Structure 1
Amino acid sequence: MEPETGNQSEFEPLDSCDERILAVINELHHRDDPIPNDLNDRVEFVLELEAALDAKVASVYRPKEFALMRGDTELAVNQGDPASITFDCETVTVMVTPRPSAAHEMRLDGWIGPEGTYAVEFRSPQGTRRASSDESGRFVIEGLPDNEMFQLVIRPDEALQREGLPAVVVTPAVRL
Structure 2
Amino acid sequence: MKMRPEYQSQGEYEPLDSCDERILSVINELHHRDDPMPEDLNERVELVLELEAQLDARIAKVSRSGELVLTRGEAELTVGQGDPASITFDCESVTVMVTPRPSSLQELRLDGWIGPEGTYEVELRSPDGSRRASSDETGRFVLEGLPDGQMFQLVVRPSEALQREGLPAVVVTPAVRL
Fold match by TM threshold 0.5 = yes
- 2:172 is equivalent to residue 173 of structure 1: no
Q: Tell me the equivalent position of 2:93.
A: 91
Q: Tell me the equivalent position of 1:108.
A: 110
CA distance in 2: counterparts of 1:138 and 1:44, whole angstroms: 29
User: Given the alignment, which residue of 55, 59, 64 partners 1:62?
Assistant: 64
How far 1:114 moved relative to its partner?
A: 0.4
Flag the 1:47–1:123 CA change in 2: closer, same or farther, 3 A: closer
Flag the 1:48–1:131 CA change in 2: closer, same or farther, 3 A: closer
Q: What is the identity percentage for the equivalent residue pairs of Structure 1 and Structure 2?
A: 76
Q: Tell me if structure 2 keeps the 8 A contact 1:46–1:57.
A: no
For 1:135-155, what per-residue CA distance to the aligned partner results, in whole angstroms no more than 9, with x for missing partners?
A: 000000011111111010000
CA distance in 1: counterparts of 2:35 and 2:106, whole angstroms: 33
Q: Tell me the equivalent position of 1:19.
A: none
Q: Structure 1: 5+ residue runs without aligned partners? A: 1-26, 66-80
For 1:129, the aligned partner's letter is R
Two-structure CA RMSD over aligned residues (Å): 3.0
Q: Tell me the equivalent position of 1:156.
A: 158
Q: Tell me the equivalent position of 1:78.
A: none
For 1:96, the aligned partner's letter is V
Q: Tell me if structure 1 keeps the 8 A contact 2:65–2:87.
A: no
Q: Tell me if structure 2 keeps the 8 A contact 1:50–1:57.
A: no
For 1:85-114, what per-residue CA distance to the aligned partner results, in whole angstroms no more than 9, with x for missing partners?
A: 011100100000000001111000000000
How far 1:53 moved relative to its partner?
A: 3.2
Q: Tell me if structure 1 keeps the 8 A contact 2:109–2:144.
A: yes
Q: Tell me the equivalent position of 1:138.
A: 140
Secondary structure of 1:160's partner? helix
Tell me how many residue pairs correspond in the alignment. Answer: 135
1:4-15 to 2 correspondences below 5 Å: none
CA distance in 2: counterparts of 1:126 and 1:142, whole angstroms: 14
Q: TM-score, normalised by structure 1?
A: 0.64
Q: Tell me the equivalent position of 1:52.
A: 54
User: Given the alignment, which residue of 115, 121, 126 partners 1:124?
Assistant: 126
CA distance in 1: counterparts of 2:45 and 2:92, whole angstroms: 18
Q: Tell me if structure 2 keeps the 8 A contact 1:59–1:171.
A: yes
